[in-house]
Structure 1
Amino acid sequence: MHLLSLEGISKTYPENPVLENVSLGISAGDRIGVIGRNGSGKSTLLAIIAGTEEPDGGSIIRARGLRIGTLDQDPTFAADASVGDVVGDDRRAIALADRLMLTDPAARCSTLSGGQRKRLALAMALATDCDVLILDEPTNHLDVDTIDWLEDHLSARTEALLLVTHDRYLLDQVATRVVEVHEQSLFSHQGSYEDYLEAAATRDAHDATVEHRRQQRIKIELEWLRRSPKARTSKARYRVNQARDLVGEQRRRVRQELSIDLPSRRIGSKVVNLANVGKRYGQTWVLRHVEYRLSQDARIGIVGPNGAGKTTLLNLIAGRIEPDEGKVTIGSTIHPGWYGQDPRSLPAETRVHAVVREQADEVRLESGIRVSGAQLLERFQFTRDQQQSTVGDLSGGERRRLELLLSLMEAPNLLLMDEPTNDLDIGTLTVLEEYLDAWEGALVVASHDRYFLDRVCSDIFSIEQDGSVIHHPGGWTAYRTASLVAAASGTKKPDTVKVRPKRQRHTLTYNDQRELDQLTKSIPRLERLRKELEGVLHEAAGDYARTVEISGELAKLIADIDAAENRWLELSEAADRLVDT
């Protein structure tokens, strides 16, 4: 059954054409994932379909009595309304709000955080009886367990679904059709997100081949014109016309990719040491007994329920807040960079190019060349016109991209990222992941994006209900697999190590010094072995039994490394105190 058709739709904002003569049909049972660069018009397309935005041209045909449910990217509620007022007596909405951790019906919407408002709006959208459900970035501000639940929930629903998301695992599992918004046009691909990637690669390769052939033909014709001036008779004039036609022929559009080529600073052997660290708010301890020695090439992902303390742990590592117990020591060469989920304080009326120029007029890239602020913005996909725009005119994703640029311009060697994938498009995330692969520094990231955690992180820290932090090797998939195995076997926790504080010595005996020397040599060997096992684990990703086996070996190895590192830290701090005295 056909539900809705867009025919020849166009939409332009001042100096910014978004959609031009696009068409799209939606039928019952369709599950459409909408993707595209930040600012390309994804949210505008959804708003036009929902009827909350009028197109400048074209027609919209809706089935009679069509019911549409929506989740906006930035939902709003009446300031004086409570959660109970919004949910009402609808049992389904009440149950969904409870599942999304909105358990206080008396809470005022004006006091809710941005994440809580988003979850309230999601609960209401999912509770709506509709024929078409439109969700704009539904995974923002959800923890990974809730995203797992949402994935199953959406897969079980029967109405047509239109979904904008940066979560590639969710997109691949839920969508059966992918629509890309690119350069004011729509490109539709039948199949999963993986099928779309294959089709897009084929299309881009074809376009590149056609353009290469055109360039080669131009070279041949120009060479003929240069070498044969006397041959330009009326008989050969067609060659002159052919060369002009080739040069004048519209060039195949090559997609301009985001380019990140910003360097980091030199990093010393001491990064950040956490010794028996704890943090509380009021009488509630959020983190307790955290001990870890961050390595120079750390790639750590932090997971846990909303409110568990992920941002708090990042702030402690960055030195932005002080612990209430224990000690955080930051190495003398460390220059932390912060990319948080809360927006930077940027005046809305300031122009984009001025924001970058205020930080640096010129930047030296990793390749050694120096570029101006305008050139750097172009590398981050800000056109010359967009650079003249004010910060207040940027879309949510464009602002996040600008803030990412500002963070990396500081050349940090310790990068702390709090929900970095929120509002960034998939293309930007792909380039960011490739950049972090080669980036020389320590990375700690708190994220709900399972794909990003798998792609970037080699270790997972989970924050437990008692405030302890448990270390899991091997990225998100290994952590999730171990958790599911533990749950199926009735084990309370995965087979990983919970690090406890150790009693501090006050002197170094001969045996202590000998042990310290041995640990200094053995820890690098253990780290090399860990990386080898992680490679084996990655290769065994499709083999469930092998994954569980390797995860167990990694868990045991990481326990040995943790114990060795904590013992090394204990002995080295004792040696430092002896020097001080």
Structure 2
Amino acid sequence: TMLEVLAGIVETDSGRESRVGGLRLDVVTQRGVLPEGATVGEVVLAGIAADAEHEWAGDARIRGVLAGIGIARAEAAERPGDIDLALDARVDDLSGGERRRVALAAALVQELDLLVLDEPTNHLDVEGVQWLAEHLLARRSALIVVTHDRWFLDTVATTTWEVVGGKVESYEGGFGDWIFARAERARQADAVEARRRNLARKELAWLRRGPPARTSKPRYRIEAAEALIADVPPPRDSVSLSAFARRRLGRVVIELEDARLTAPDGRTLVDDLTWRLAPGERAGLVGVNGSGKTTLLRALAGDMPLAAGRRIEGKTVKIGWLRQELDDLPIDMRVLEAVQDIAERTTIGDKEVSAGQMAERLGFSPARQRTPVRDLSGGERRRLQLTRILMAEPNVLLLDEPTNDLDIDTLQQLEDLLDGWAGTLVVISHDRYLIERICDSTWALFGDGNLTNLPGGIEEYLRRRRDAPTRALHAPTASTPSTPGDAAAYRAARKELGRLERTMERLGERERDLHDKLVTAATDPGRLADLDAELKRVVAEKEATEERWLELAAEFE
């Protein structure tokens, strides 16, 4: 709403608005509304003064935008089924994500004074997000962007506004600066609230000093005291996620053997794929748009048949599938009913919680839980989707663009939850911050029919895409295990590497805790000796873990 006010789409209820005359402005909203019957080329080039193709085709800036967003002439496609959007394609035939890309390209080809973007990284792949950030940094125009993408925000923003509790808080810098500044403001706010409570207690005691005294008290002083006592800051909506109960996984989780996946038009997306997900495996999946990431996830979930090959699922597997679409929600129910539809109660940690308590942990207040699902915003629907999944107590999570529509607070809570989760995880995301934190291995679909392992993670993916002579990049066989045995050994090593990193972090925290306890136990010789012995054991275990980590890390270099 605030973005639309700044862009002049809606008016404020009160106050004054002023804009400089002749401002060249364009806005890309999440709605993706495009003129019916138009072609991609007509929409993209409508805002520039170039009618004939030769007038804009010679402009390197426009060509760069079209290439960056993935738009090309149909005859320029390098192979049948190329995933680029054709300039002569009808926008009526495009998906929601493709329409958003067209609207974004139409804004970027223009020379503007101010560019306003609402969640521009949604529906872009990792490579597209990187290109967009570099493009925006090179532009001379001002930029206002609403985004949940932490890496993108850190890269392009010089000032960050947080809209919370009916106020706008301004911070210098991007995401990292915002995190530190917000923590400092929260600390200061806590100190102010502590002083207010202390003063309120004194004022309350003063007010209660007997009826005779009250009659002689100044009226203004009474009103000021009552206002101080009543001035309690409103609670901030928060999301609190903890480890949830899960069924035990056996040796077999999900396996695809000699699998072939095809698109609705019959085009082969992935061929001759053998992929065995191990218990506790944490895989990130990236790739160019249209390469088959969601199709592969659907195959893992058992939601679509394989064109060839077979799928095997372990007997104890309980899948939680967070779809990119929000069409699996019961829109005729209220929020609480939609959660209870999955389960009345579940277990978080060692505590049993009700459906209402779980919904409250995901940011739905008791009052909001009575809201019909159809009236929820996109972000609230995504949180409800996540709530329903957690209520089912899965041990395998398949997440398709989980960061879409989630606010940053919820994202951080989700990452904390997934970071310590012991189940199997496969996540598709353009959010490199998320993948680099929660995944132990990264896999890519380059559009060549193969699933390629990337020991170097997102950076290796971007490097390979830059170095590829064609869009159908063929990965060197040395970088990817070529046999099922090699792949299993590689995954086991990556899994152990991730486990060792988490163990080192846990031992480091324990070491710091023991040092603090040694200080407080200085006057207790018996306790001091016990703590010292435990500290030596922790340090020795930490050193052994670090040595094993270094051995494994050297194998991946």
Task: Identify the TM-score tier after normalising by the shorter chain.
Answer: 0.7 to 0.9
Shift in Å, 1:415: 0.4
Distance in 1 (alpha carbons) for counterparts of 2:498 and 2:422: 19
Question: Is the contact between residue 96 and residue 127 of structure 1 (CA under 8 Å) also seen in structure 2?
Answer: yes
One-letter identity of the residue aligned with 2:276: R
3-state DSSP class of the match of 1:57? coil
Question: Is the contact between residue 282 and residue 438 of structure 2 (CA under 8 Å) also seen in structure 1?
Answer: yes
Work out which of the residue numbers 339, 352, 367 in structure 2 matches 1:356.
339
What does residue 180 of structure 1 align with?
A: 162
3-state DSSP class of the match of 2:41? helix
Work out which of the residue numbers 472, 496, 505 in structure 2 matches 1:528.
496
What does residue 115 of structure 2 align with?
A: 133
Of stretches 130-139 and 354-363 in structure 1, the one that deviates more from structure 2 is 354-363
3-state DSSP class of the match of 2:448? coil
Work out which of the residue numbers 404, 427, 431 in structure 1 matches 2:413.
431
1:205-231 deviation digits (Å, cap 9, x = unpaired): 1222333444456678889999xx99x
User: Superposition RMSD on alpha carbons, in Å?
Assistant: 3.8
One-letter identity of the residue aligned with 2:240: S
Question: Is the contact between residue 133 and residue 160 of structure 1 (CA under 8 Å) also seen in structure 2?
Answer: yes
What does residue 76 of structure 1 align with?
A: 33
Distance in 1 (alpha carbons) for counterparts of 2:168 and 2:366: 24
Shift in Å, 1:461: 0.6
Q: Rate the CA distance shift 1:380–1:132 in 2: closer, same or farther, 3 A.
A: same
Counterpart check, 1:101 vs 2:77: no
Of stretches 262-271 and 56-65 in structure 1, the one that deviates more from structure 2 is 262-271
Q: Rate the CA distance shift 1:301–1:93 in 2: closer, same or farther, 3 A.
A: same
Question: Is the contact between residue 218 and residue 247 of structure 1 (CA under 8 Å) also seen in structure 2?
Answer: yes
Work out which of the residue numbers 337, 344, 348 in structure 1 matches 2:327.
344
Question: Is the contact between residue 222 and residue 243 of structure 1 (CA under 8 Å) also seen in structure 2?
Answer: no
What does residue 260 of structure 1 align with?
A: 241
What does residue 248 of structure 1 align with?
A: 229
Shift in Å, 1:531: 4.2
Distance in 2 (alpha carbons) for counterparts of 1:351 and 1:435: 26
Shift in Å, 1:459: 0.5
Counterpart check, 1:277 vs 2:259: yes
Shift in Å, 1:283: 4.8
Question: Is the contact between residue 421 and residue 447 of structure 1 (CA under 8 Å) also seen in structure 2?
Answer: yes
3-state DSSP class of the match of 1:369? strand
Question: Is the contact between residue 82 and residue 107 of structure 1 (CA under 8 Å) also seen in structure 2?
Answer: yes
1:42-94 deviation digits (Å, cap 9, x = unpaired): xx111111111111111111011112111011211133222133234455657
One-letter identity of the residue aligned with 2:294: T
What does residue 422 of structure 1 align with?
A: 404
Number of equivalent positions:
481
Matches within 5 A, 1:179-578: 179-215=161-197, 248-261=229-242, 262-281=244-263, 283-373=266-356, 375-473=357-455, 475-477=457-459, 479-480=460-461, 483=464, 493=476, 496-500=479-483, 527-528=495-496, 531-532=499-500, 554=553, 556=555
Q: Rate the CA distance shift 1:172–1:494 in 2: closer, same or farther, 3 A.
A: farther
Distance in 1 (alpha carbons) for counterparts of 2:461 and 2:550: 11
One-letter identity of the residue aligned with 1:277: A
1:161-187 deviation digits (Å, cap 9, x = unpaired): 001111111111110000110111111
One-letter identity of the residue aligned with 2:496: R
Shift in Å, 1:392: 2.5
One-letter identity of the residue aligned with 1:250: D
3-state DSSP class of the match of 1:150? helix
3-state DSSP class of the match of 2:351? coil
User: Unpaired runs of 5+ in structure 1?
Assistant: 1-43, 504-518, 538-549, 559-581
Structure with greater strand share of residues:
1
Distance in 2 (alpha carbons) for counterparts of 1:217 and 1:64: 51
Question: Is the contact between residue 458 and residue 473 of structure 1 (CA under 8 Å) also seen in structure 2?
Answer: no
Shift in Å, 1:154: 0.3
Q: Rate the CA distance shift 1:437–1:377 in 2: closer, same or farther, 3 A.
A: same
3-state DSSP class of the match of 1:454? helix
Distance in 1 (alpha carbons) for counterparts of 2:398 and 2:317: 12
Counterpart check, 1:57 vs 2:7: no
Distance in 2 (alpha carbons) for counterparts of 1:112 and 1:551: 49
Q: Rate the CA distance shift 1:58–1:534 in 2: closer, same or farther, 3 A.
A: same
Shift in Å, 1:277: 2.2
Shift in Å, 1:279: 1.6
Q: Rate the CA distance shift 1:172–1:449 in 2: closer, same or farther, 3 A.
A: same
User: TM-score if structure 2 supplies the norm length?
Assistant: 0.76
One-letter identity of the residue aligned with 1:100: I
Distance in 2 (alpha carbons) for counterparts of 1:427 and 1:294: 30
Question: Is the contact between residue 303 and residue 463 of structure 1 (CA under 8 Å) also seen in structure 2?
Answer: yes
Distance in 2 (alpha carbons) for counterparts of 1:302 and 1:376: 29
Q: Rate the CA distance shift 1:129–1:474 in 2: closer, same or farther, 3 A.
A: closer
